[in-house]
Amino acid sequence: MARKLPSVDALMIGFGWTGAIMAQELTDAGLNVLALERGAWADTSREFATTFAQDELRYFWRHDLFQTAAHDTQTIRNDASQVALPMRKLGSYLPGTNVGGAGVHWNGQTWRFLPSDFVARSHNLQRYGAGAIPDTMTIQDWGITYDDLEPHYDRFEKLCGISGKAGNLDGQIQPGGNPFEGPRRNEYPNPPMAMSYPPALFAEAAQGLGFHPFPQPSANMSQAYTNPLGVRLEKCTYCGFCEKFACGNYSKASAQTTILPVLMKKPNFRLRTECEVTKINLDSSGKRAVSVTYVDAAGEEYEQPAELIVMCSYILNNVRLLLLSGIGIPYDPQTGQGVIGKNYAYQITSSVNLFFDDKILNPFIGAGAHGMLVDEWNGDNFDHTGLGFIGGGYLGVVQTGARPIETHPVPEGTPAWGAAFKKAVAANYLKSMSIATHGAVMSHRGNYLDLDPTYRDVYGRPLLRMTFDFTDNEHRMSDYLTDRAAEIARAMRPREIKVNRRKGSWDVVPYQTTHNTGGAIMGSDPATSAVNRYLQSWDVSNLFVMGASAFPQNPGYNPTGTVAALAYASAAAITQRYLKAPGALA
Amino acid sequence: MDEPRLSRRRLLTAGAVITAVPVVTAAAAAATLGGSDVPFKEGQANAPLAADTTSSWNWFTDAEAAFVSAAVARLIPADDLGPGALEAGVPTFIDRQLAGAYGRGERWYMQGPWSPGLPTQGYQTRLTPAGLYRAAIKAIDAAVVRESRGASFSKLAAADQDAFLHRLEKGEVALDGVDAKAFFEQLLQNTLEGFWSDPIYGGNKDMAGWKLIGFPGARYDNSDFVAQHGQKYPLPPVGLTGRVEWIRS
């Protein structure tokens, strides 16, 4: 029998980026806030110190910062005709655990989506006609616009001290920035990072071809920075251990380096770690959440009542907890009815390796978001007429650091082992680089999340089942981006290139991106979305669902900037409107 | 395994010779036990630590160590460019990894039911990494004997070892209870890990792997070099416990 605890004003389920943002805003509004995190406490000085942070084996290959599959994983299949099997070890994506969540081991690539991304359905219908969207492509408008989110993007960029160069200030195109971005009210809070040789070579070639290269917006500090909360971050040292690693140098924005030093001191905030929420409990009407049930590290079960509950876990956990709690109607791919689990999407990536004889590139010098990119073929920045796909992505050189177990590129035709392999790695490691493409994944009727009928987690609850594959739209789009990348690669005049297209079905084995999206999507109609434009559950008005689970489809950019902007927008609606008159905001 | 006991494997081998049909594979856990074949628990890295005081290995038997030493020496051979995986201590690295949490698959989801699945569904065997090595090496040496190539893989000539490894890589060797291709992928991955991970884990001895390619290791401040385009990086590699010259051997 669960022990019942005293009620709190607001409860955060999960304590990563969105949990920290929301707790900071709600405690500022005077609420008593409690956060429950299933992982452990983690901070820079003890867990990620520079004396041991640069350890490729421990952190990437042995998953030290990631979710433990033994505890909870997903079952996966490419389509409903297959039997889903558990992802027994992590591969394609790497969800985080512990305080700070995946925001501890992210790269820091911090984007705004394009204005047209937020109206993907209506925009594409208007420009290309009804034939541009197949019946099986279930893309939707977001119910919120770029202009609505602009001030919230701005807040997150200032919180983090994003390094970058504006391309569009109040409608005025700025040289050196991304001319395709939506209009910004303010320049980035920090200048772009210093560029190592590979991104600089890419930018030179892209510029020569008439494109508009720009520095990637980065949560790695180009200089020391004190954020609006008074928390100081330090200048990045380009150590090349950012992606899949924690920063020991206070140089990458995370909950730990931007919010927690302030939030943890507040008398009206409490965090309980190693407490996993197993269910959200509703009242008899089913329209109000009254409490959560959670299990602590000793296996004791508690019931924690709260007036307001905010789901701040990773998207896959948010969707699963909604399904396990019986909130919202589960999506049915046969009928297209129901909303929970609908429109799961991902990211599609490819690359082109370049091998030089005459250039020392020192590819180990890097940072998570240290690159030069072009956005000519993202979103609807180009005419798609006759191309057979919608959407796009960015491409360019992001030098995250060539850690050698993961990155030891060899030319086409090199054996995978033996003397010839060794010779090729030795000859090419310092003289190779790669252009990456990062593409959108539209939502499709057959790609969805539900509960697995067979496999269980450590508590005996069903695992989440993921049914997902790339469709023709994604492959055509990714191939198109890859061809553009290869053209720029050839203009850089390397000795040779190797083109790595994304072929065939989605494969859980090789790492791709931790950009899982959808399943509890936002929108303006409760029949086709799980949450409204304020991320408030249509069914349970004192429940809000943060995260990329709200994306109706996944645009061609990294998600964190938009995840955070949506959290700020939601917090503003709660503090300015909901607290005065609790109830449905839309 | 010199005693004249008729084990299940030998029985199957004899059967294969007589009938000249492929050996039917069975789950590794279902082996007939006897003599020195009795495992503490099949496929698990939980043997009592004091079991063999004559061995310097944490997990490998001497026969397993002989296989791994021979195989990694072919995957990354010593040559005029420098030490190979064997000289860099990769067998020590793999032995230590298999004896610990990784070898036990502690972070992996290892609940049934079990099904081979599709290639896009990834690792689906019930064997932990340590168990996979144990079962695979036994099966590989048995296959070498069965094919009348020699007494064990490690006793073959280098060219024959290469040819056998190529067949494993392509999944062309029938191994009793083990997916040959899955084991080869595991072995190659662990070899690369041992060659290029921090020396603290037992491989990459004297930072040979890093020196081969020019990786400077666990350096945390490259500020002075980020804008030095095209310049050779001037500093020697450093590990988590310091430079080669500073580490006690």
Q: What pLDDT score does B50 carry?
A: 55
Q: What are the tens digits of pLDDT across the range B111-159?
A: 999 999 999 999 998 999 999 999 999 999 999 999 988 899 999 999 9
Residues β-bridged to residue A294: A277, A302
- Same domain, residue pair B119 and B228: no
Which residues does chain A have within 8 Å of residue B192's beta carbon, measured at their own beta carbons? 405, 408
A308 band by pLDDT with thresholds 50, 70 and 90: very high
CB pairs under 8 A between A and B: 172
Minimum Cα–Cα distance from B230: chain A residue: A360
- Same domain, residue pair B145 and B246: no
Q: Does B117 contact A91 at a Cβ distance shorter than 8 Å? A: no
How many domains would you assign to chain B?
2
Q: What pLDDT score does B38 carry?
A: 52
Across the interface, which of A85, A194, A426 has its CB nearest the CB of B121?
A: A85
Which residues does chain A have within 8 Å of residue B218's beta carbon, measured at their own beta carbons? 54-55
- Same domain, residue pair B38 and B108: yes
Which residues does chain B have within 8 Å of residue A464's beta carbon, measured at their own beta carbons? none
- Same domain, residue pair B120 and B234: no
SS3 content of chain B, % helix, strand, coil (to 5): 45, 5, 50
> Average model confidence (pLDDT) for chain B?
84
- Same domain, residue pair B207 and B222: no
Q: What are the tens digits of pLDDT across the range A411-432?
A: 999 999 999 999 999 999 999 9
Q: Does A70 contact B119 at a Cβ distance shorter than 8 Å? A: no
Across the interface, which of B102, B225, B230 has its CB nearest the CB of A359?
A: B230
- Same domain, residue pair B71 and B169: yes
- Same domain, residue pair B223 and B113: no
The yes-or-no verdict on residue A23 having pLDDT over 60 is yes
Q: What pLDDT score does B249 carry?
A: 54
**If you count them, how many residues does chain B have?**
249
Q: Is A362 on the interface with B (CB under 8 A)?
A: yes
Q: What pLDDT score does B45 carry?
A: 62
Q: What are the tens digits of pLDDT across the range B55-95?
A: 789 999 999 999 999 999 999 999 999 999 999 999 999 99
Over residues B10-21, mean pLDDT = 36
User: Is B86 inside a domain boundary?
Assistant: yes
Which residues does chain A have within 8 Å of residue B229's beta carbon, measured at their own beta carbons? 196-197, 200
Residues β-bridged to residue A348: A439
Over residues A17-44, mean pLDDT = 97
Q: What are the tens digits of pLDDT across the range A99-116?
A: 999 999 999 999 999 999
B171 band by pLDDT with thresholds 50, 70 and 90: very high
The yes-or-no verdict on residue B248 having pLDDT over 90 is no
Q: Does B226 contact A50 at a Cβ distance shorter than 8 Å? A: no
Over residues A68-96, mean pLDDT = 97
Provide the token pair at B150.
């020699």
Q: Is A70 on the interface with B (CB under 8 A)?
A: yes
User: Is B116 inside a domain boundary?
Assistant: yes
User: Is B172 inside a domain boundary?
Assistant: yes
Lowest model confidence (mean pLDDT) among A204-208, A263-267, A511-515, B52-56: B52-56
The yes-or-no verdict on residue A344 having pLDDT over 60 is yes
Q: Does B76 contact A417 at a Cβ distance shorter than 8 Å? A: yes
Q: What letter would DSSP give residue A329? A: P
* pTM, full prediction: 0.94
User: Is B95 inside a domain boundary?
Assistant: yes
Q: What pLDDT score does B7 carry?
A: 41
- Same domain, residue pair B164 and B228: no
Q: What are the tens digits of pLDDT across the range A171-188?
A: 999 999 999 999 999 999
- Same domain, residue pair B116 and B129: yes
Q: What pLDDT score does B55 carry?
A: 76
User: Is B3 inside a domain boundary?
Assistant: no
User: Is B104 inside a domain boundary?
Assistant: yes
User: Is B175 inside a domain boundary?
Assistant: yes
- Same domain, residue pair B156 and B221: no
Provide the token pair at B148.
């009348």
Domain that residue B13 falls in: 8-215
Lowest model confidence (mean pLDDT) among A40-49, A125-134, A178-187: A40-49
Q: How far is CA A157 from the centre of its chain?
A: 16
Q: What pLDDT score does A132 carry?
A: 94
CA distances to A22, A155, A249 from A569, in Å: 10, 10, 30
Distance in angstroms (rounded) separating the CA atoms of residues A255 and A233 = 12
Kindly provide the b/e burial profile for residues A189-217, where b requires at least 16 CB atoms within 10 angstroms of the residue's own CB.
bbebbbbbbbbbbbbebbeeeebbbbbbb
Q: What are the tens digits of pLDDT across the range B233-246?
A: 999 999 999 999 88
Q: What pLDDT score does A1 carry?
A: 75
- Same domain, residue pair B110 and B160: yes
* Sign, Cα dihedral of A504, A507, A510, A514: positive
Q: What are the tens digits of pLDDT across the range A453-487?
A: 999 999 999 999 999 999 999 999 999 999 999 99
Q: What pLDDT score does B37 carry?
A: 52
Provide, rounded to the nearest whole percent, the portion of chain A with pLDDT above 70. Answer: 100
Which residues does chain B have within 8 Å of residue A425's beta carbon, measured at their own beta carbons? 212-213
B177 band by pLDDT with thresholds 50, 70 and 90: confident
Q: Does A89 contact B233 at a Cβ distance shorter than 8 Å? A: no
Q: What letter would DSSP give residue A60? A: I
- Same domain, residue pair B149 and B45: yes
Q: What are the tens digits of pLDDT across the range B136-148?
A: 999 999 999 999 8
* Sign, Cα dihedral of A329, A331, A332, A338: positive
Q: Does A69 contact B113 at a Cβ distance shorter than 8 Å? A: no
Q: From the CA of A520, how many Å to the nearest CA of chain B? A: 25
Q: From the CA of B7, how many Å to the nearest CA of chain A? A: 33
Q: What pLDDT score does B40 carry?
A: 53
Across the interface, which of A54, A88, A196 has its CB nearest the CB of B124?
A: A88
Provide, rounded to the nearest whole percent, the portion of chain A with pLDDT above 90. Answer: 98
ipTM: 0.96
Residues 210-269 on A with a CB inside 8 Å of B are 235, 237-241, 248-249
> Average model confidence (pLDDT) for chain A?
97
Distance in angstroms (rounded) separating the CA atoms of residues A490 and B20 = 55
Q: What pLDDT score does A21 carry?
A: 98
User: Is B137 inside a domain boundary?
Assistant: yes
The yes-or-no verdict on residue B32 having pLDDT over 60 is no
Across the interface, which of A68, A196, A239 has its CB nearest the CB of B221?
A: A239
For A12, the 3-state DSSP assignment is: strand
Q: What pLDDT score does B201 carry?
A: 97
Q: What pLDDT score does B15 carry?
A: 34
B176 near B9, Cβ under 8 Å?
yes
